[in-house]
């Protein structure tokens, strides 16, 4: 069933009018009067309805029922990824959204090659958010993960420390695995940190430890910076029963 997100609030006692990108998307899908669609409020509630009016600029939907979105994980898993090169972050945003990430947070580190300036970040963040919205619609999510841009590694550490458990993925960690930390902890919110192409510096790892993050390994193989966040996110969702 075609899916549309509406962030301005949905009232069930009167027809809902969709305009802008939603109307354009409906025409691309060749929807017609009488077709059923799903409208989501972006907070996990789905509204099923039937198109009762349609023109080139808008479509009107009569809401018939509502339910909690079955595709939304109950675990809030935040993905923290340092600025990577090229379009790797776009790939991670798309796939992390499909998997069920609660949000995607990006930030600079000492070894980050990519360091977009403030003006370019505004346009990039708008594009990243649109990628998250498109992926949410395609994967039947109940909300659109926010793409958050922070100005420093320390800001990212401070923000992540508010989760029930926060984990930094580090290729040189030899004692603690992601599995060992997950099985020893109970949590409803979790943050997963990963570094850029060149990895994190020993000083940054120490800062993470001091901030209360668990330093963990993802195994004996070295993963690319765009692979590690998706691997760890999948592992966490599986371990918490979110992929059943």
Per-residue pLDDT of the chain (244 residues; tens, 9 = 90+): 888 988 777 888 889 999 988 899 898 999 999 999 999 988 888 999 999 999 989 999 999 999 999 889 999 999 999 999 999 999 999 999 999 999 999 999 999 988 888 888 999 999 999 999 999 989 999 999 999 999 999 999 999 999 999 999 999 999 999 999 998 878 999 999 999 999 999 999 999 999 999 999 999 999 999 999 999 999 999 999 999 8
Q: CATH classification of 3-68 is 1.20.1600.10, yes or no?
A: no
So what's the pLDDT on residue 179? 92
Query: Full-prediction pTM beyond 0.85?
Result: yes
Between strands 189-194 and 76-82, the pairing is parallel
| Domain parsing of the chain, residue ranges | 3-68, 76-239
pLDDT for the residue numbered 94: 98
Count other Cβ atoms within 10 Å, centred on residue 170. Answer: 24
Give the C-alpha distances (Å, rounded to integers) separating 192 from 106, 195, 207, 218.
Answer: 11, 10, 15, 12
The topology under which CATH files domain 76-239 is Alpha/beta knot (3.40.1280)
What pairs with residue 94 in β-bridges? Answer: none
Termini Cα distance of the chain: 21
CA distance 56 to 69: 29
């Amino acid at each position: 069933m075609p899916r549309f997100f509406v962030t301005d609030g949905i009232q069930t006692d009167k027809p809902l009018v969709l305009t802008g990108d939603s109307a354009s998307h409906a025409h691309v899908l060749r929807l017609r009067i009488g077709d059923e669609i799903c409208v989501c409020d972006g907070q996990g509630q789905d509204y099923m309805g039937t198109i009762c009016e349609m023109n080139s600029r808008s479509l009107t939907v009569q809401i018939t029922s509502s339910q909690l979105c079955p595709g939304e994980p109950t675990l809030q898993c935040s993905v923290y990824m340092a600025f990577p090169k090229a379009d790797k972050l776009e790939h991670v945003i798309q796939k992390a959204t499909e998997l069920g990430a609660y949000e995607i947070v990006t930030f600079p580190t000492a070894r980050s090659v990519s360091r977009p300036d403030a003006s370019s970040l505004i346009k990039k963040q708008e594009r990243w958010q649109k990628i998250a919205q498109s992926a949410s619609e395609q994967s039947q999510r109940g909300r659109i993960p926010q793409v958050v841009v922070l100005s420093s590694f320390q800001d990212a550490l401070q923000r992540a420390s508010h989760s029930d458990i926060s984990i930094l993925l580090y290729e040189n960690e030899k004692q603690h695995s992601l599995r060992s930390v997950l099985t020893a902890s109970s949590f409803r919110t979790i943050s997963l940190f990963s570094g850029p192409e060149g990895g994190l510096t020993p000083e940054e790892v120490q800062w993470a430890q001091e901030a209360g993050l668990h330093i963990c390994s993802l195994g004996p193989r070295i993963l690319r910076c765009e692979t590690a966040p998706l691997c760890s996110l999948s592992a966490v969702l599986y371990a918490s029963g979110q992929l059943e």
